Chains A and B, each alone.
Chain A
């Protein structure tokens, strides 16, 4: 129902207005849910902390300073902030180990499911997904129950006489790792399964036929072809692992902090919102750099499908 009586430029203006109106919901979401909060975080990171939390509107670079440096309380000399750096290092290390662990456990799982008859696959997938639907706290405490000193594993080991005293597994980096692998495993299995399901298994047979042993078929044929799934799964696992909060808190018992816990501390007991904000942005930067490095190295060998 274009109004032909209107001059051409008026019709154009109206079309432009309609276009903006249609774009509005997406723009609002981007503004209020993504870039807006990020911008606030960025601004807060450059302000002075208030005494009881919050911020005082007074520009300050202290927060950014404190991300990696610390000032000695006696002689004011600057030094690397060992506490923060070790937390960063632990976070990156545990996240990498979680990702690798998820690949190690997730790959055979996904392969197993993908090679079942079609009717059974959904059932197996359901078994993978059900824990995924369960609250993360419940899942984490389930692992706690297994590995705590009076837990299932220690009880069985002591009862069978293999050990005399319980093995301290809870509240260690190991326990965080176990918890995170368990919690994030479905995020690895799902994309891996999706790419394996599409795998043409006659290619695997062709590999065997051409004198490739099982290991070589895995390395030369299956892995390159399901690589998109491995890449996607790794990103899905690595990113949330790096910012993980609940699992390290419960499994680490408060003395094995990861970045997520450190950030939470600043907004809570620490009452240092600018530092928390600066740490959040740092986390974001670490994730972005890691992803860029990863995608670049993984993508360089990406097969060119014709």
Chain B
């Protein structure tokens, strides 16, 4: 089966002095019915990639195909792709219903069919009561739903979403995340979602491509990306991470044994296709480690700070090798750690938890 969207060595360079490389050799295959997220900080090229799929930007080089069909020479209005814009871009001179029906109208669908589909779409996004409102008379969250309905109405093969939730407040954003996931399941349309919010990406996506500086750093499922970041940027950008200096003692495939600064040896994971030697950096998530008495420690140190967060507590440990380490521990009413600031303490984590990072 060919991929819904296949991106091969796609490159976008904006001329000027100096020229700006917005996207450097990106390659991705996005499958049918997938909720695929492009995640990265602003300026990483994720929006450029999305706009090229939509047809608003032309690639400098590389190929872009949809179900095996080349998209390069198709203008946006001939691509079976619709976009939900960051600013929603609702037509201010049309009502909610006219906005949602616009795409169908442009496709030349019969009036009865447009009316029916618009009705269904308004049902789907729970906006049926608002059909005749002007777009300026509805709230941000409602505008968001209309933008979504408008993009879904022509039944595109692929729906592109350009940071559609960034303008909503926290509570509404949470609701819309679930709503988007539901819509994607119900419609079976491929969603390509652009965001800089790692939590949003982890919650909704089937797969995530983490991008920075115009390059795709890692592609994988949310769990995969979170538990096994392949490189320092990914580990740092997604969630909180401890970077632990280590040295490779032995490695075979993705399994490796590493020696920590304390001299202890523990099993860790090697990034796929890498066989690194010598000094490396190990990523360990704060919640994957635990604190323990000094005697049982993988890494000994001094407890420098205890920060209480309600659901959990962060223990900041100043390790003897001079680096810092944070352990996150979920708070339970029946458990107390029994340590206090200034105590000699140790950090532990299970074999296979540490991830060796690519340079």
Contacts and interface: CB of A to CB of B under 8 A. Distances in A.
B233 interface: no
Interface string A200-220: 101101111111110010001
B76 A208 contact: yes
A69 interface: no
Nearest to A217: B77
B93 A202 contact: no
Given A205-B76, A208-B77, 12 more contacts: A200-B87, A206-B91, A208-B56, A209-B54, A209-B56, A210-B77, A210-B151, A211-B154, A224-B93, A225-B93, A303-B92, A305-B93
Contact of B83 (A203, A206, A305): A206
Which of B92, B107, B137 has the most C-beta atoms of chain A within 10 angstroms of its own C-beta? B92
B332 to A, nearest CB: 49
A212 B89 CA distance: 15
Q: Is the interface of B mostly helix, strand, loop or mixed?
A: mixed
Interface residues of B, number: 29
Nearest to A208: B76
A210 B134 contact: no
Contact of B82 (A210, A212, A220): A210
A306 interface: yes
A250 interface: no
Given A200-B89, A211-B103, A306 B136 contact: yes
Interface of A: 200, 202-203, 205-213, 216, 220-221, 224-225, 303-306
B54 to A, nearest CB: 6
A303 B134 CA distance: 10
A25 to B, nearest CB: 40
A208 B91 contact: no
Interface in B53-91: 54-56, 75-78, 81-83, 85, 87, 89-91
A209 B87 contact: no
Q: Which 10 A-B pairs have the closest CB atoms?
A: A306-B136, A303-B93, A210-B103, A206-B89, A306-B134, A306-B137, A211-B106, A208-B76, A202-B89, A212-B106
A306 B90 CA distance: 12
A210 B106 contact: yes
A212 B77 contact: yes
B157 interface: no
B150 interface: yes
B205 interface: no
Contacts of A209: 54-56, 76-77, 81-83, 151
B85 A210 contact: no
Contact of B89 (A203, A211, A303, A304): A203
Interface string B136-158: 11000000000000110010000
Given A200-B87, A202-B85, A306-B137, A208 B55 contact: yes
Contacts of B83: 205-206, 209
B154 A305 contact: no
B6 interface: no
B135 interface: yes
Nearest to A221: B91
Contacts of B56: 205, 208-209
Contacts of B92: 203, 225, 303, 305-306
A213 B134 contact: no
B60 to A, nearest CB: 19
B134 A205 contact: no
Contacts of B150: 210
A219 B54 CA distance: 22
Contacts of B78: 211
B54 A203 contact: no
Nearest to B108: A211
A304 B132 CA distance: 12
A210 B135 CA distance: 17
Interface in B72-126: 75-78, 81-83, 85, 87, 89-93, 102-103, 106-107
Contacts of B81: 209
Nearest to A209: B83
A224 B98 CA distance: 14
A302 to B, nearest CB: 9
A206 to B, nearest CB: 4
Which residue of B83, B102, B133 has the most chain A CB atoms within 10 A of its CB atom? B102
A206 B103 CA distance: 10
Most chain B CB inside 10 Å of its own CB: which residue of A200, A209, A225 = A209
Interface in B29-74: 54-56
A304 B137 CA distance: 10
24 contacts: A200-B87, A203-B91, A205-B54, A205-B56, A206-B90, A206-B91, A207-B102, A208-B56, A208-B77, A209-B55, A209-B77, A209-B81, A209-B83, A209-B151, A210-B77, A210-B82, A210-B106, A220-B102, A225-B92, A305-B92, A305-B93, A306-B135, A306-B136, A306-B137
A216 B89 contact: no
Contact of B106 (A203, A216, A303, A304): A216
Contacts of A304: 134
Nearest to B107: A211
A210 B55 CA distance: 12
Interface in B152-166: 154
A39 to B, nearest CB: 43
Contacts of B133: 306
A200 B137 CA distance: 18
